[in-house]
A and B are shown apart, each in its own frame.
Chain A
Amino acid sequence: MTALLRGGAFDPWQELAQIEAGFVKGKHGACASFVGTMRDFNVGDSVHSMILEHYPEMTQQFLDTICIEAARRWSLIDCLIVHRYGEIKPGEPIVLTAAWSAHRAEAFDACRFLIEELKARAPFWKKETTDTGERWVHDAPDE
């Protein structure tokens, strides 16, 4: 179970390959992964860049906790979270969640659990730069 915070760009496919390189071959039948990527638009505005602020110690602790919880709920071989912080440009990956298991159901469910829990409660905050200046995403009107 691995949760990583990255201050620079990352390649999600390389992250997945690195984890799988450590597996005993033939033991997992399924890998479900989710990659969240920065859009160049939000609530009707063009977005040029974004600063992702976080509460480092609490964020790491929270991500570790949801990995452990996923492994408790489902029969997993492994799971992974990678999340960016700092300045991000459109098209760059923001987050990767992945789960490996013997069968697809556990992998799908665990992968979805990781991203939904992270989105709901992990202490990250986005500040977007648009044509009209900067704004915190939690202050922006809902889409």
Chain B
Amino acid sequence: MMQLKVKFFASLSEQTGFTETTVDTDSPSTVLDAWQLATGDQTMPVNTLCAINMTYAHLDDSISDGDEVAFFPPVTGGCA
């Protein structure tokens, strides 16, 4: 059994209704699997970005037990 922490930020948090949740899975998983498990198969918006353990990742990257997976929209820091 594998346990993951899944976080959502900004508009994705509002859309999914989650800021942070924990999911359990007993099969090898990818970042996309984490989204589906955590959101109950909600549609993922175009341009969604993701990270594993605070490093940018791709949806087909593998995840491991204890990983923190995050989903967020395009970033808008800085200014002008």
A residues engaging B (CB < 8 A)?
36-39, 52-55, 57-58, 61-62, 83, 94-95, 115, 118-127, 136-139
Contact = CB atoms under 8 A, between A and B. Distances in A.
Interface of B: 7, 9-11, 47, 51, 54-56, 70, 72-80
A138 B77 contact: no
Nearest to A125: B10
Given A52-B77, A58-B55, A58-B70, 14 more contacts: A54-B77, A58-B51, A83-B77, A94-B78, A95-B77, A95-B78, A95-B79, A118-B77, A119-B79, A123-B9, A125-B72, A125-B77, A126-B77, A138-B47
Contact of B54 (A58, A124, A127, A137): A58
A6 B80 CA distance: 19
A36 B76 CA distance: 13
State the main secondary structure of chain B at its contact with A.
loop
A125 B75 contact: yes
Contact of A138 (B54, B55, B73, B78): B73
